[in-house]
Structure 1
Amino acid sequence: MSIIFYFLAAVTIIGALGVVLSPNVVHSALFLVLSFIGVAAIYFYIGAEFLGAVQLMVYSGAVAVLIVMAIMLTRRDSMAQSNPSQKLFRRVVTGLLAGGFFFLIGLGIVLSPLPGGELGASTGAQEIARLMLGTYILPFEIVAVLLLVAMVGALVLARGGDTA
């Protein structure tokens, strides 16, 4: 692996650590955007341009803006209480548990008997479209209907208690 990949991975990890360790919720949201951009850059680096573009548009753009807007639209008194785990003991215990979990995952990867494979040819937008609108058309349409139902449900909940 090259130095570019390690740099992009470091940017992504720094962003993820900033999300977890930042006491300010708005700063955490901005670190989340940094982490999303790092993941998109890794996608571009490995040749998955379509996934990189989707990552940038959907996560770095839409989801991050949605999170920041949700934070900004909440009341100020609830923002002060949004990060209640300020105690050092809880942070240390959580850090040790997370570190142990990641150590076990890394140990499992290192000791895995499976051989490392090489990356296949990258899948472009045409191949993804052919699969989504050909082989997997039924699951694609079911997901579209579920998203429509979720959007209508969100609109009904947002309107309030008035029913016609």
Structure 2
Amino acid sequence: MTGTSTLAAQAHGFLSPTGVEVAFLLIGLVTLAAALLTVTTRQLVHAALWLVVALGGLAVEYLLLTAEFIAWVQVLIYVGSVVVLLLFGLMLTKAPIGRSPDADSGNRWPALVVAVAAAAALVWVVADAFRTTWIDLSGAVQGTTKVSGESLFRYWVLPFEALSVLLLAALVGAIVLSRMRRKKEGER
């Protein structure tokens, strides 16, 4: 170890958080609260707006992890495109603006059990998969634009393109449904 890294290791113990770690925790709690409000609110427009807060919180978390490229992709694609597409879908299908009794199916407890079981399974699988993984600190930084771009365009191009086609099909479907509804209302 060099003198600087030894001094830094002595200044910050295992349980003494830095400002970035405290900010990461606070932003994570806000993001978690926004995600919970997204799935528990009975107003569809409010759910979409809480989704913006949750996705924006994830972008801030990426910035705190020094993954600027991924943070901007999060903002541009998810906060910008997906949420705008969702709001346009709500507007085109004339979804109710206020409280919607149709937004609650009455299956909250089974949904909670399934969500907790899925979260536990996900944590177990990820912890088991990365148990013996070590981060190479002498290699290239993993959050840089070069490394992220190479990984994105080598392994993830097809899933991203498939998702864009799926979102386009959802938008076209919302337009078709809204026009069919208008035509039926005009016949009455």
> What's the TM-score bracket when you normalise by the shorter of the two chains?
0.5 to 0.7
Dislocated runs of 4+, deviation >3 Å: 76-82, 103-113, 115-120, 126-133, 142-160
How far apart are residue 12 of structure 1 and its match?
A: 1.6
Structure 1 residues 63 and 101: CA distance shift in structure 2, 3 A: closer
Instruction: Select the structure with the greater relative contact order (CA < 8 A; seq sep ≥ 6).
Output: 2
How far apart are residue 123 of structure 1 and its match?
A: 3.6
How far apart are residue 34 of structure 1 and its match?
A: 0.7
Distance 1:109 1:117 in 2: 14
How many residue pairs are counted as aligned between the two chains?
Answer: 153
1:72 to 71, 88, 91: 91
Distance 1:154 1:104 in 2: 30
Q: Name the TM-score, length of structure 2 as normaliser.
A: 0.60
SS of the equivalent of 1:75 reads coil
1:18–1:31 Cα contact (<8 Å) kept = yes
How far apart are residue 59 of structure 1 and its match?
A: 0.7
How far apart are residue 22 of structure 1 and its match?
A: 0.4
What's 1:20 paired with? Answer: 39
**Structure 1 unpaired stretches of 5+:** none
Distance 2:171 2:51 in 1: 27
Larger radius of gyration: 2
Q: Name the TM-score, length of structure 1 as normaliser.
A: 0.68
What's 2:48 paired with? Answer: 29
Query: Sequence identity, in percent?
Result: 24
- The amino acid across from 2:65 in the alignment is I
What's 1:95 paired with? Answer: 112
Distance 1:112 1:41 in 2: 26
2:55–2:79 Cα contact (<8 Å) kept = yes
1:37–1:60 Cα contact (<8 Å) kept = yes
- The amino acid across from 1:62 in the alignment is S
Root-mean-square deviation over aligned CA pairs: 4.0
1:25–1:82 Cα contact (<8 Å) kept = no
What's 1:57 paired with? Answer: 76
1:18–1:28 Cα contact (<8 Å) kept = yes
How far apart are residue 82 of structure 1 and its match?
A: 4.2
Distance 1:10 1:93 in 2: 25
What's 2:145 paired with? Answer: 125
1:114 to 131, 155, 174: 131
How far apart are residue 148 of structure 1 and its match?
A: 8.9
Structure 1 residues 76 and 63: CA distance shift in structure 2, 3 A: closer
SS of the equivalent of 2:88 reads helix
